[in-house]
Amino acid sequence: GQNIDQPTEMTATEGAIVQINCTYQTSGFNGLFWYQQHAGEAPTFLSYNVLDGLEEKGRFSSFLSRSKGYSYLLLKELQMKDSASYLCAVRDGDYKLSFGAGTTVTVRA
Amino acid sequence: DSGVTQTPKHLITATGQRVTLRCSPRSGDLSVYWYQQSLDQGLQFLIQYYNGEERAKGNILERFSAQQFPDLHSELNLSSLELGDSALYFCASSAGGGGTDTQYFGPGTRLTVL
């Protein structure tokens, strides 16, 4: 099976930066995704990495190191609406997508 | 709004019963995925269909089955329901069968088994 680890909770102040780490062990690799999920709502797509390096999209950036089985999601200029769960998901060699348990980010005023 | 629709939004039923959840993918998407999300298990992949054919199978119980119809909508059938089946069931769709395709999620069906 797949093994995807991310911290359970993180708290940060409005306007600050938070980095959510994700480590994974999978059978084959065909990309890593980050999703945002507000309580009781559907996950929404944030970013996709398949090659090593940093992908930047507005206030959100995602980094991947395939050799280390490691990714992070960087949230800059935090806003109250960024309080949500952030899910790391890895597509394995059979193209199945496995999700981590999610990191709950709480943004304080 | 992702463009993926799911019905019903809420479903309350009793143990031992059978229910059907419905999903319509985004226009043009050929793949449909089903996920179960419960509080203690996170988001679990159940099954994927691509253009009417089963493409990948995850942790789907034998009591559960799914199909994708010629118009590409999909149904997830859950039978002999147990209390532990209470969860949010999400459908997602993507353009192709895998590769670099991003999955877009529907709003989910909340199933409560009493």
Distance from CA of A15 to the nearest CA of B (A): 27
Give pLDDT tens digits for A17-71. Answer: 999 999 999 888 989 999 999 988 999 999 999 999 999 989 999 999 999 999 9
Cβ within 8 Å, pair A33-B102: yes
Task: Return d(Cα B69, Cα A50) in angstroms, integer.
Answer: 32
User: Among partner residues A31, A44, A87, which is closest to B43 by beta-carbon distance?
Assistant: A87
| Closest partner CB to A101 (pick from B42, B103, B106) | B42
Q: How many angstroms separate the CA atoms of B57 and A25, rounded?
A: 19
Closest by Cβ to A96, choosing from B58, B90, B107: B58
A70 — contact with chain B (CB < 8 Å)?
A: no
- The answer to whether A13 touches A108, Cβ cutoff 8 Å, is yes
Tens digit of pLDDT for each residue in B57-108? 888 999 999 999 999 999 999 999 999 999 999 999 999 876 557 889 999 9
